Amino acid sequence: MHQRTIATLAELEAAAWFSKVGVKDTEAVIVLSSWPEAITHCDSVGWKNLCLEAVNQYRQRLLERSRERFIKWNDIVTDLRPTVEPFVHRKVQAVVQENLLPPIFEKMVRGDIFGVCLEAEYADVYPPGFYASHAYWYVKGHFPCGYEGLFPNGKLIVY
């Protein structure tokens, strides 16, 4: 694991995830007011497709810039899995139990954190973007869970 990724995970570890859910502390995004709303948004086809498209676009940029590094993607995912999966589970466990959140919640958070780590791993080839912005919201205590409008001209939705 690259030092950038280790540093990113350390910053995420130190943050109080979900400590500001529902708090309208910014005009930069749409802030939801409940877990049911957040789960509906994070489980929507539109949000899942946007997240998938972000990964696909990132992979395409990697392939264009360094085929040699691109072909290591699956190996890097495999290497990250033993760190990311328990890390995310530990960070979400309390909020899942307190709010009886469905499995899709942890799955989407895990996808975000894998995306953050992959962008960190490849930052020397192509700059982090979509998932790095998600990391920002986790650190700020929110849960990025949707998008309104056509990307990139719309607004991120957080809880």
pLDDT tens digit sequence for 3-39:
999 999 999 999 999 999 999 999 999 999 999 999 9
Mean pLDDT of 138-157: 96
What integer pLDDT is reported at residue 98 of this predicted model? 97
- Beta-carbon contacts of residue 50 (< 8 Å; ≥ 6 apart): 147, 151
Q: Cα-atom radius of gyration of the chain, to the nearest Å?
A: 15
What integer pLDDT is reported at residue 18 of this predicted model? 98
What integer pLDDT is reported at residue 104 of this predicted model? 97
What integer pLDDT is reported at residue 41 of this predicted model? 97
Mean pLDDT of 64-89: 96
Q: State the Cα–Cα distance between residues 59 and 73, nearest whole angstrom.
A: 8
* Pair type for strands 144-148 and 155-158: antiparallel
Q: State the Cα–Cα distance between residues 58 and 141, nearest whole angstrom.
A: 26
Mean pLDDT of 146-155: 94
- In Å, the largest CA–CA distance within the chain is 45
Q: Is 43 helix (H, G, I), strand (E, B) or coil?
A: coil
Domain membership of residue 7 as a residue range: 3-158
**How many domains in the chain?**
1
Q: Which of 129, 1, 91, 106 is nearest to 43 (CA)?
A: 106
Mean pLDDT of 46-52: 96
What integer pLDDT is reported at residue 123 of this predicted model? 96
Q: State the Cα–Cα distance between residues 42 and 105, nearest whole angstrom.
A: 7
Q: Which of 141, 140, 157 is nearest to 149 (CA)?
A: 157
pLDDT, the chain, mean: 96
Q: State the Cα–Cα distance between residues 159 and 7, nearest whole angstrom.
A: 25
Q: State the Cα–Cα distance between residues 85 and 148, nearest whole angstrom.
A: 29
Please state the length of the chain.
159
- Beta-carbon contacts of residue 103 (< 8 Å; ≥ 6 apart): none
What integer pLDDT is reported at residue 14 of this predicted model? 97
